[in-house]
Chain A
């Protein structure tokens, strides 16, 4: 299965600032997925990122708040913009390395906004 490197693993940020999270995969994948996990909750899909096209956002998530880049088939970034304490969560990226089989998840970025 694919191996994902996600950075940073954690950060503490001031409200009103932005943080960019990086996701690097050791193989080429068509789709990359970004999730948010709020404290004590399950994972919520933010968006799907395809290489060469704009990301597709789920209901409740907008590009201005969570811009995503996907410059090639092994890399993606998620930016959390104009942060507020409500953005304090774990953010995870995921890929489906082989279609129809298991998805792999990064270890997550634990974000605290103060």
Chain B
């Protein structure tokens, strides 16, 4: 399985942008980059995903490096409710992994008021 590497923890100030990095140097051509977050005492929730181009949605933006070996999740204005563990996961579109998501350790984001 292609692996991802994320910092264990990051801190941010409220209302400032947050850039969460993820390295995936062994990514294959059929891997989508997925981001999920897990708020305290809740199941993970989908944030965003992409393949090659940068993506935006109401929650966040995803910037993907040209060689696809790294990506960055961008929260444009962090709020206290964004404090969570953020997971970067590679999802094989070709279903070589049977459609399953394999979680790494993620980045624990804390947001200071």
Contacts and interface: CB of A to CB of B under 8 A. Distances in A.
B53 interface: no
A43 B99 contact: no
B42 A107 contact: yes
Contacts of B43: 92, 94, 105-108
B51 to A, nearest CB: 9
A113 interface: no
Of the four ranges (under 10, 10 to 19, 20 to 34, 35 or more), the interface on chain A belongs to 20 to 34
B99 A56 contact: no
Contact of A42 (B34, B49, B93, B104): B104
B87 A45 contact: no
Max chain B CB contacts within 10 Å: which of A94, A101, A105? A105
Contact of A31 (B32, B85, B98, B103): B98
A44 B103 contact: yes
A88 B100 CA distance: 23
Main SS of the interface on chain B? loop
A102 B34 contact: yes
A56 B98 contact: yes
Contact of A45 (B85, B100, B104): B100
A100 B95 CA distance: 10
Interface in A19-50: 31, 33, 35, 42-45, 48
A42 B107 CA distance: 10
A104 interface: yes
B99 A96 contact: yes
B98 A104 contact: no
28 contacts: A1-B46, A31-B98, A33-B100, A35-B103, A42-B87, A42-B104, A42-B105, A42-B106, A43-B44, A43-B103, A44-B103, A45-B101, A48-B98, A48-B100, A94-B43, A96-B99, A99-B99, A100-B91, A100-B93, A101-B49, A102-B46, A102-B49, A103-B34, A103-B36, A103-B101, A105-B43, A107-B42, A108-B43
